[in-house]
């Protein structure tokens, strides 16, 4: 395995970022400084350290991606640009996929990984993982509208939605937290109270919060602290 790929898998950044680590002499291989990012290493037997800290190899990667509007949450699509096309080629690991879906016109937090077990945990209906969205509505929500959303509304499915949490930010702005993942759920919930979503952005999922420094279309590896909150 190449040294730069190994460091990426260990969570030290994207391929371009870890190349800078190597270039600056912060990486050692078996105790000796190394400035060759494409060096072939034995990830099971060689000792790789960054700033004196030995690296632990992981087969899984976890990217926080700020999904922009206009792309679809898919690995491949014959019509629209996918979220995967925003990644640099060297950062695309085998079997990488988006966890869950956001509508094409919806922005915000999306997790990209190749960890199927974690994806199942986050998406399982039995887990009720909370997801918070910033919502701009066409009209102001009344107190009764908010009460209905928090109690559960009929969106045309067999069952009403589970109780949601609403934080009113302004006349037409709210944070809406749900613990389900039904098709177009937020839009259908607003429609059920006679309103309409004009802008939608997911800001958190479970214990993971969208990094405000990430611009739409940008991504980065999760930190150790974020992984602990997510798992």
Positions marked active-site:
103
3-class DSSP state for residue 57? coil
155 to each of 66, 71, 189, how far by Cα in Å?
28, 25, 6
Q: d(Cα 91, Cα 114) in Å, to the nearest integer?
A: 12
Neighbouring residues of 107: CB distance < 8 A, sequence distance ≥ 6 = 66, 67, 68, 69, 200, 201, 202, 216
Output b/e per residue, 5-15; b: 16+ Cβ within 10 A. bbbbbbbbbbb
CA 102 to chain centre: 10
How many residues are present in the chain?
Answer: 231
Three-state DSSP class for residue 208? strand
What CA–CA distance (Å, rounded) separates 112 from 27?
27
């Amino acid at each position: 395995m190449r040294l730069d790929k190994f460091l990426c898998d260990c969570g030290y950044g994207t391929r371009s970022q870890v190349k800078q680590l190597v270039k600056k002499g912060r990486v050692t291989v078996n105790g000796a400084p190394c400035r060759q990012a494409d060096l072939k290493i034995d990830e099971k037997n060689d000792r790789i350290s960054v700033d004196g800290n030995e690296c632990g190899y992981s087969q899984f990667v976890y990217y926080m991606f700020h999904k922009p509007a206009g792309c679809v949450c898919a690995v491949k699509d014959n019509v629209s640009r996918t979220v995967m096309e925003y990644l640099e080629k060297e950062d695309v690991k085998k079997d990488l996929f988006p966890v869950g879906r956001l509508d094409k016109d919806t922005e915000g937090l999306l997790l990209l990984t190749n960890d199927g077990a974690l994806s199942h945990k986050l998406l399982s209906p039995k887990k009720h993982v909370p997801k918070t969205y910033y919502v701009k509505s066409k009209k102001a929500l009344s107190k009764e509208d908010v009460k209905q959303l928090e109690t559960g509304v009929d969106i045309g499915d067999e069952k009403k939605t589970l109780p949601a949490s609403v934080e009113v930010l302004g006349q037409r702005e709210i944070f809406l937290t749900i613990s389900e993942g039904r098709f177009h759920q937020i839009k259908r919930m607003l429609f059920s109270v006679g309103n309409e979503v004009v802008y939608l952005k997911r800001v958190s999922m479970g214990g993971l919060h969208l990094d405000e420094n990430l611009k739409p279309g940008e991504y980065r590896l999760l930190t150790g602290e974020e992984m602990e909150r997510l798992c």
